[in-house]
Amino acid sequence: MSQLRRFVTLTLGGLLICLASSCSAMQQLGGQTISQTFSDERVVALVQAAVAGDSKRVAQLTSQGADINAIGSNGATPLLWALNAKNHQGIDALLKAGANPNLLTAKVGNSPMYFAAMADDPELLRLLLKSGGNPNHPEQGKIKDRPLSQAASEGRLENMKALIEAGADVNAHDQFNYSAAFATLALGKFEATALLLEHGFNFDLPYLARGVKVCQVPDGSEAQHWKDKVIVMLKDRGVIL
């Protein structure tokens, strides 16, 4: 994949989540409209209001009994629909009404926190964190699926800072030594590697160093500049490359 990739499009369990700045506020997920996904007319109206950013309507519908965490036939919740639309007002209204930012559904397999961590709009993630989003989210399972790992893999520096400030464990790792820092190497996001080192990442630095060493980036590029800086940081920590 290109290191100049400017968007993230995820397909999970048939559900299309579009988090690119170029994506429009689509009225479909996984090829289904809102009314096709939900059978309850109140939930249909709720999702439509959230996608449109109609906060008053969201509050009205939830007070009338619309299920804020309803799961549609494609596995998407109202909050996932609003995230897909990137509508701040709609997201905020759903969260204030009790939408669960950590909810995983069987068909999607990932939570709103997972998707927001990769988005190119840090405010989406901040909204979720402010309303109980778990920066470590152990329910997400594998370390590679945690919000910090996802943000790191995409080089979303502001998202990473928000997660770390909220208490994300920078040293979380699995039995294979995979960590958020190692996640930065797939696309050569060395500025993200440096950020983690600056915030206390210290798990098996020799292992990380080997990954840094073999990761190739264009000579003279910004990525090369940050790779060189990471190498210096590792050496300052006593790691021999």
Q: What is the pLDDT along the chain (241 residues), one digit of tens a residue?
A: 333 233 344 554 445 555 544 444 457 777 889 999 999 999 999 999 999 999 999 999 999 999 999 999 999 999 999 999 999 999 999 999 999 999 998 898 889 999 999 999 999 999 999 999 999 976 656 898 899 999 999 999 999 999 999 999 999 999 999 999 999 999 999 999 999 999 999 999 999 999 999 999 999 999 999 999 999 999 999 998 8
Total count of domains within the chain:
1
Cα distances (Å, whole numbers) of residue 120 to 23, 66, 87: 11, 30, 13
Residue 45 domain boundaries: 1-133
Q: Is 139 a domain residue?
A: no
3-state secondary structure of 194: helix
Q: Is 222 a domain residue?
A: no
pTM over 0.75: yes
């790779």: which residue's tokens? Answer: 227
Q: Is 15 exposed, middle or buried (0-12, 13-18, 19+ CB in 10 A)?
A: buried
Q: How far is Cα 209 from Cα 207, in angstroms, rounded to an integer?
A: 5
Q: Is 82 a domain residue?
A: yes
Angle, in degrees to the nearest 10, between helices 78-85 and 41-52: 30
Q: Is 177 a domain residue?
A: no
DSSP 2: -
